[in-house]
Structure 1
Amino acid sequence: MKTTRRDFIRLAGATGLAWTLPAYAQPVKTPSLRLGVGADLHHDLVPDAPERLAALVKAAHDFQAHAVVQLGDFCQPKPANLPLLKQWREAGLPQIDVIGNHDMDGGSTPEKTVAWMGLKSRYSTQVLADYRLIILDGNERRKDNAVKGYARAIGDEQLDWLKRSLAIDTLPVVIFCHQGLDGIDGGIVNAAQVRTVLEDANRAAGGARVRLVLTGHHHLDYLVQVGGIPYLQVNSFSYYWTDAKSAGGRFPADVEQRYPYLKQVLVYDRPLFAQVELTSSGGKVVGRKAEFVGGYGPAQAKIPITTNGHAIVPAVSDRKW
């Protein structure tokens, strides 16, 4: 069954969470942080990325989020994509940008991509709502880890910077990185080194100072605890990638001609993202569920229904920890 552009995406209002701070509360001691989080929009591969991005921004406003986050693989840095960047910059909320490997497609470099996006640096730190936010760049290469394909490491200089950033204050911490840091195949090659730094920070604080690590890249939906730290993998806004090409026909012919990779991805029929709330007692995710466009999922693509021990699903699950 062919899907028209109107049918291609069903934007639905996200669940809003009411939140008030009692007058007697001490924000620094019991902070709450709310984030609208999306990952792997891949504007260059799908025809409706602006609508998917708009859905996240609307949900973040409804959620009264402190900031809206994109975890990388946003779009290629080229003139044709400036309208999408303008849309993002006009979100009306603070934006947190993570650089993904595909953000350098088309011959760019991390430095050029950062400049195109108007960012000051590849990795950075800031304080928001009494949380220290640390944004990492996972697109470095290490001499001791010869990895083919896209670079996916945290270099020594950045590791030292991470240690210094964690030592600035004693605020609770949220880490952002495009590639997985929990040890997943295809993630950061020296993830164990990064986890050691984070776990050392917890030990020095005498408790769970690092409250959450947020990643994208893998287009999966899971939460794991490693070394006492929760690692949340946020599914793609848009699709799951496969190397198996279909015969097409899930979209109008002109759409498939303009976006040829649609024939080998399992597209979600509505945008996926996470509404994340952290408090001193734990965390909560309000997610979204979708369907595969045209009913074309792993079985139809003749690929395994799991990868790295996690199911391939068109969802960001609700979670609480």
Structure 2
Amino acid sequence: MDRRTFLKKSCGGMVVVSCPGLNMTEKNKKIRFGLITDLHFARKEKWETRYYEQSKQKLQDAITVFNDEKVDFLIELGDLKDQGTPPDKVQTLSFLDEIENTLQTFNGPVYHVLGNHDMDSISKQDYLAHTRSWNDAKGKTYYSFVRDKFKFIVLDGNFNEDSSDYNCGNFQWTKAMIPDDQKMWLQKELENSKYPVIIFVHQLLDAFSGISRDVCILNADEIVQILERSKNVIAVFQGHHHYGHYSFKDGIHYFTMKGMIEGSLPENNSFAVVEIDEDANIYLDGYFKCEDKIMRKS
């Protein structure tokens, strides 16, 4: 049994092979990327189900798979690091530096999405100065990039109701907003796209699905209307809600990734290889607690 099959775990920790239909042929394979979220890395004792220090080893295991699979890029959906007790800026930045250095052992482009805990003890500017998103994404909290005739858009929902930035812990995590200037930018990005679009965001947008509004962006309904009007968005990938979630509305899949922080090694981890074929069908090959999922273009 090879390493990939050994690591490919789901369904309560049983060892399984990939589900039929998830192994795409070279002819049909279009683009593949590694997906992780909510590592909350910190050098501190566990709290309830969160094993902060173990996130580094979990990330290393995920990157081994991503490098072996030769995925095109890696994206993390926010809450990359946490903070100590009591909070200390210098210490928090050391956590960020340590986990970022591990993240950069991936053999390809790395992209970041800002999560609310990424601004615990530090500012957005501090975070950007200590992370290395690929190419034109560097130094930006929201941005877009194109690969293999697909457009990827990263959103930043870490704004207060008055449109000020989340900053050094001065925010209420249940009150996240996407401000007007970013909404206008999003509309233009969608209008100008000649390719199918995938959205990445930390907090959830599918408030319509019955999920708690506390984990959703306050103006999520407005953002969803923008996505639906464009007619070219095929999926939204989200973090934040560690238990995972899925919904579908008006041709758009909303997939919430389970948090890597949850549970202890060796049986607990969560990451995925996502494959999108030339017809914009999405095949999510999940590892450990992340289930496999096929999301077809409607």
TM-score bin (small chain): 0.7 to 0.9
> Distance in 2 between the 1:60 and 1:116 partners?
23
CA distance in 2, matches of 1:47, 1:179: 23
Task: Kindly provide the CA deviation profile for residues 156-197 of structure 1, in whole angstroms up to 9, marking residues without a partner as x.
Answer: 110001011112231111100001111132211111111111
Is structure 2 residue 242 aligned with structure 1 residue 274? no
Query: Structure 1, residues 77-110: CA drift from partner, whole Å, max 9, x if none?
Result: 51344232112123112112101000111x2122
Q: Does 1:48 align with 2:79?
A: no
- The aligned residue for residue 143 of structure 1 is 162
Structure 1 residues 155 and 35: alpha-carbon distance in aligned structure 2, compared to 1, 3 A threshold: same
Match of 1:59 in 2: 65
Pair 1:212 & 2:231 matched: no
| Structure-2 separation of matches of 1:89 and 1:126 | 19
Please give the per-residue CA displacement for 1:43-79, whole angstroms capped at 9, x wherever unaligned: 0151222211112212222333211111100015513
Q: TM-score, normalised by structure 1?
A: 0.70
Query: Hey, what's the Cα distance between the residues in 2 that align with 1:316 and 1:217?
Result: 14
Q: Secondary structure at the match of 2:99?
A: helix
Q: Which has the larger radius of gyration?
A: 1
CA distance in 1, matches of 2:117, 2:264: 18
Taking the aligned partners of 1:59 and 1:108, their CA distance within structure 2 comes to 31
Query: Does 2:140 correspond to 1:121?
Result: yes
Alignment partners' CA distance in 1, 2:244 and 2:81: 21
Write the letter of the residue equivalent to 1:96: Y
CA separation in 2, counterparts of 1:64 and 1:89?
15
User: Which residue type is aligned with residue 130 of structure 1?
Assistant: K
1:48-127 to structure 2, matched below 5 A, reads: 48-76=54-82, 77-105=92-120, 107-118=121-132, 119-127=138-146
Aligned partner letter, 1:87:
T
Aligned match of 2:287:
288
Q: Distance in 2 between matches of 1:115 and 1:281?
A: 35
1:234 aligned to which of 244, 254, 257: 257
Shift of 1:210: 1.1
Deviations 1:177-220 (A, max 9, x none): 00111113221111111111110110xxxxxx212100000002
Q: How far apart in 2 are the matches of 1:160 and 1:94?
A: 27
Q: 1:317 to 1:114 in 2, by over 3 A?
A: same
CA distance in 2, matches of 1:19, 1:130: 18
- Deviations for 1:87-138, whole angstroms, at most 9, x for unmatched residues? 2123112112101000111x21223212221432110111112211100001
Identity %: 26
Query: 1:317 maps to which residue?
Result: 291
User: Which among 197, 202, 212 is matched to residue 178 of structure 1?
Assistant: 202
Q: CA RMSD in A?
A: 2.6
**Number of aligned residue pairs:** 245
Where structure 1 has 5 or more consecutive residues not aligned to the other structure, the ranges are: 1-10, 26-30, 203-208, 240-265, 290-314
Confirm or deny: 8 A CA contact 1:66 1:129 kept in the other structure: no
State yes or no: 1:13 paired with 2:12: no
1:301 aligned residue = none
Give matches, 1:150-169, under 5 Å: 150=173, 151-169=175-193
Task: Give the Å deviation of 1:231.
Answer: 0.2
Q: Is the 8 A contact 1:272 1:288 kept in 2?
A: yes
The alpha-carbon deviation at position 20 of structure 1 amounts to 4.8
2:206 touches 2:220 (CA, 8 Å); kept in 1?
yes
For normalisation by structure 2, the TM-score amounts to 0.75
Q: In the TM superposition, what is the alpha-carbon distance from 1:270 to its structure 2 partner?
A: 2.4
Match for 2:238: what amino acid?
Answer: T
The alignment partner of 1:316 has SS state of coil
Among 149, 152, 158, which residue is 1:130 paired with? 149
Alpha-carbon distance change, 71 to 80 in structure 1, aligned in 2, over 3 angstroms? closer
